[in-house]
Structure 1
């Protein structure tokens, strides 16, 4: 009896979510809020974003709405830095090429995609990545590519994978060190992908309602932002480029995971700004 009620309700809600994608994409398509310290510096110039991920396929499994939305808004140049080549099964070289192909679906140029293969930064749940090494890599990439904004996982990393949340910790360490360096005067922002609970994670298109309502309620604060995908099929097409990973459970993931449809990003707090506020 319960199933007889739940199934029609789920179908109706899923249909309503798809209608929202079709009817209101332009209303929900807004750029990341730019802080006052960076608002006037980049007029007439491309704003450079760095997507910082742990493994090949992270970009399409989790960050599709962000890549697609910012690409549609224009005025930006994307760089992707993948810390490992996903060589846990000995397919590192193959997965590197697959990631370049996947990024091309998101209109990210091959020369802007970098996949590392460092002996201290290998793929694996038991691999403890060196925080100082990650901070140094982030610093070098930001400086050489003149990056304005870095986007990565939050402290839980969507799935609790230690390689994922190591990136969040390292980015925060980078900003903390940067705030103490008087020579670092170029403003840079950081944003983290919000992890959601398991029910929301696998609610698919239904998560659009929860995420957008939460964002619309709190967006005046300016420390969070919501991206609804302009086209979820693009994320599926990008994932298909990872042929070595295109297994049945990942096919289900890109259909039912909410990260295919919506991303909520939260701004990494500026250590320097927070200290200034406390001093006042």
Structure 2
């Protein structure tokens, strides 16, 4: 009886700490008044990995314009035409306001594959075409400009080690290098934020890892200003419900048994911590 009571106390304490962290992180430095691109590899990445930060940056009081660029339709099982529509439904649940803010690249050079690394320079060139089409005509003596202020994507481990995920970080870096190629000495107009990958234990620790992440980051050296780092978003109960709904009701074609486990215990449904990458 005492063991059960102690366990209940521990669980209650973790829940209370999580609710507290979800409240205090709302006051942490965040991106406001920016044009932000969420760069993903497959429809459902936005819900499975980036829901907390997506819910945070699409809050009306932030004043951001948020876009999603997905580099495949997720057609590995021949369901690409279905998954594109699922992405739109999910994105709307998570805060994206318009279908026009959602772009899906359908190119055989970007297959949905666990064994394929996508070409970083090709990714960079596509980003250039969409978000800095006039850069070639910008004099090298002038500051470079772009249609987006920040890119959010996976880090070098891609959360799950998926080569498509990892390729996006390298592609984003290639885009930034191309953007600055003739503009040495100027500040890059687009900042790159990457989602921190964790070990397996933390990955499946749900709200417990949210608490650990917040108390760990509190001790970090922080950079404030217009583009603060790290960025931290901890979802409360309603935002977690939104993220889970985005998977269950929108991404119906993907709801296999293991994804039920993911939306139940993955820390990425609860917390996102991102770091700003340095140029050069």
TM-score if structure 2 supplies the norm length? 0.84
- Which of these residues, 200, 215, 218, is aligned with residue 217 of structure 2? 215
- Which of these residues, 211, 226, 230, is aligned with residue 224 of structure 1? 230
Question: Which ranges in structure 2 are unaligned for 5 or more consecutive residues?
Answer: 134-145
Answering whether residue 272 of structure 2 is matched by residue 263 of structure 1, we say yes
Q: Secondary structure at the match of 2:67?
A: strand
- Which of these residues, 122, 134, 138, is aligned with residue 133 of structure 1? 122
- Which of these residues, 215, 239, 242, is aligned with residue 234 of structure 1? 242
Structure 2 equivalent of residue 244 of structure 1:
253
CA distance in 2, matches of 1:143, 1:6: 61
CA distance in 2, matches of 1:64, 1:7: 34
- Which of these residues, 117, 123, 133, is aligned with residue 112 of structure 2? 123
Shift in Å at residue 130 of structure 1?
1.5
CA distance in 1, matches of 2:201, 2:179: 37
Is the Cα–Cα contact under 8 Å of residues 88 and 124 in structure 1 kept in the other structure?
A: yes
Is the Cα–Cα contact under 8 Å of residues 36 and 67 in structure 2 kept in the other structure?
A: yes
Query: Structure 1's 236 and 11: CA in aligned 2 closer, same or farther, altered over 3 A?
Result: farther
Shift in Å at residue 208 of structure 1?
1.1
Instruction: Note the alpha carbon deviations across 1:176-209, whole angstroms, 9 max, x for none.
Output: 3333322976621110000000000001110012
Answering whether residue 90 of structure 2 is matched by residue 93 of structure 1, we say no
Question: Which ranges in structure 1 are unaligned for 5 or more consecutive residues?
Answer: 35-44, 272-280
TM-score if structure 1 supplies the norm length? 0.84
Structure 2 equivalent of residue 56 of structure 1:
43
Shift in Å at residue 60 of structure 1?
0.5
Is the Cα–Cα contact under 8 Å of residues 57 and 66 in structure 2 kept in the other structure?
A: no
**Once superposed, what is the RMSD of the aligned Cα atoms?**
2.5
The alignment of Structure 1 onto Structure 2 pairs a total of residues equal to: 258
Q: What are the equivalent positions in structure 2 for 1:1-280 lying under 5 Å apart? A: 12-30=9-27, 32=29, 46-72=33-59, 73-108=61-96, 109-143=98-132, 146-182=147-183, 187-221=189-223, 223-230=229-236, 231-240=239-248, 241-271=250-280
CA distance in 2, matches of 1:150, 1:223: 13
Larger deviation: 153-162 or 180-189? Answer: 180-189
Q: Secondary structure at the match of 1:220?
A: coil
CA distance in 2, matches of 1:31, 1:139: 31
Is the Cα–Cα contact under 8 Å of residues 18 and 211 in structure 2 kept in the other structure?
A: no
Query: Structure 1's 9 and 194: CA in aligned 2 closer, same or farther, altered over 3 A?
Result: farther
